[in-house]
C-alpha cells in the first residue's frame, strides 16, 4: 500500500494534476522539516523536483535547511548561507567523468530545535561525484540520511526521531519571536496540499504500480513523493499516514 501510494503521489504531481483536484477547506499549517533548495546567482529557489530525481550539473549548488515552514518552503526557510559555488569549491579542479557540486546544509536556528536536541554543525563543502549522481547521492555522500514515509527526516542524526510534525500555532508564534522570523504558512498552500493528499489516497487504492529504484540501488519509494512540489505534498501525505495509523478502526 505504501509503495503504491508513493508512486501515485509522484505520478500525480509530475503530471500537473493539481488543477483537477476537488477543493477542501483551507487549514493553515506549519511543519518542522528538512527543506530542499537549488542555488543560483540571485539566491535560493525551492526545489521543483525531489532529490532522487534532481541531477545537479557541474558548478551547481544544492542546499538543505531545517526550518519551520509551510509545505512549499517560504523564503524564511531557505539556507542562510549564500549559494556561492566559486567560494565553496575554490581550489577543487574539474576531473573527467566527475562533476563538482557545492553542498550547503543549514541546521536552522537552535530556537526551532526539537526539545532536548542540539542542531548539527552547518555543512559547506564541495562534492566530487559521478556525472549521473542525483541530489540524494550528493547529500548522502556527506551525511547520513534518515527517511520515513517518503520524507527526508534526519540528516547527520538531526533530528533524532521526529519527521515533519505539524506544529501548534502557539509553538510557531514562540519560535518566530525567538528567531525574528514569521511563519510562511498560507491558507492557499494548505488547501492545495490537502486536496492533493485526498486525490492521491484514492489513486493509491486503484494503482498496482511499483516504485522505481535508482541506479545505485537506493529505493525511491521513500523519495519519489518529493517530485513536483518538492516537500509540499510529501509532508502532508506523511502526516496524514501517521494520523491514520494512530486512529483505531472498528
- Supply the pLDDT for residue 51: 96
Are 2 and 223 in contact, with CB atoms under 8 Å apart?
no
- Supply the pLDDT for residue 225: 37
CA 71 from centroid of its chain's CA atoms = 9
Residues with pLDDT less than 50, the chain: 1-27, 182-237, 239, 246, 250
Lookup: cell for 227: 517530485
Are 110 and 122 in contact, with CB atoms under 8 Å apart?
no
- Supply the pLDDT for residue 74: 80
**Residue boundaries of the structural domains of the chain:** 2-24+184-228, 30-179
pTM above 0.85, yes or no: no
Q: What is the DSSP string of 5-44?
A: HHHHHHHHHHTTGGGGSPP------EEEEEEEEEEETTEE
Helix/strand/coil percent split, the chain, to 5: 35, 20, 45
- Supply the pLDDT for residue 176: 63
Q: Bridge-partner residues for 100, per DSSP?
A: 128
Amino acid at each position: 500500500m505504501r509503495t503504491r501510494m508513493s508512486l501515485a503521489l509522484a505520478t500525480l504531481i509530475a503530471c500537473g494534476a493539481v488543477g483537477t483536484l476537488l477543493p477542501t477547506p483551507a487549514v493553515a499549517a506549519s511543519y518542522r522539516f528538512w527543506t530542499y533548495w537549488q542555488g543560483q546567482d540571485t539566491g535560493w529557489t525551492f526545489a521543483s523536483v525531489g532529490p532522487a530525481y534532481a541531477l545537479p550539473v557541474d558548478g551547481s549548488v544544492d542546499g538543505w535547511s531545517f526550518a519551520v515552514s509551510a509545505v512549499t518552503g517560504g523564503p524564511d526557510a531557505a539556507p542562510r548561507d549564500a549559494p556561492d559555488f566559486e567560494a565553496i569549491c575554490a581550489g577543487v579542479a574539474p576531473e573527467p567523468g566527475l562533476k563538482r557540486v557545492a553542498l550547503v546544509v543549514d541546521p536552522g536556528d537552535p530556537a526551532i530545535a526539537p526539545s532536548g536536541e542540539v542542531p548539527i554543525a552547518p555543512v559547506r563543502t564541495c562534492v566530487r561525484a559521478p556525472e549521473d549522481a542525483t541530489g540524494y547521492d550528493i547529500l548522502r555522500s556527506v551525511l547520513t540520511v534518515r527517511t520515513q514515509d517518503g520524507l527526508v527526516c534526519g540528516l547527520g542524526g538531526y533530528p533524532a526521531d521526529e519527521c515533519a510534525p505539524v506544529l501548534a500555532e502557539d509553538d510557531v508564534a514562540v519560535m518566530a519571536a525567538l528567531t525574528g522570523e514569521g511563519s510562511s504558512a498560507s491558507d492557499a498552500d494548505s488547501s492545495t496540499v490537502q486536496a492533493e493528499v485526498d486525490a492521491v489516497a484514492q489513486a493509491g487504492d486503484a494503482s498496482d504500480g511499483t516504485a522505481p529504484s535508482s541506479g545505485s540501488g537506493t529505493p525511491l519509494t521513500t523519495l519519489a513523493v518529493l517530485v513536483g512540489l518538492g516537500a509540499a505534498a510529501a509532508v502532508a501525505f506523511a502526516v496524514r499516514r501517521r494520523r491514520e495509523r494512530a486512529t483505531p478502526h472498528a
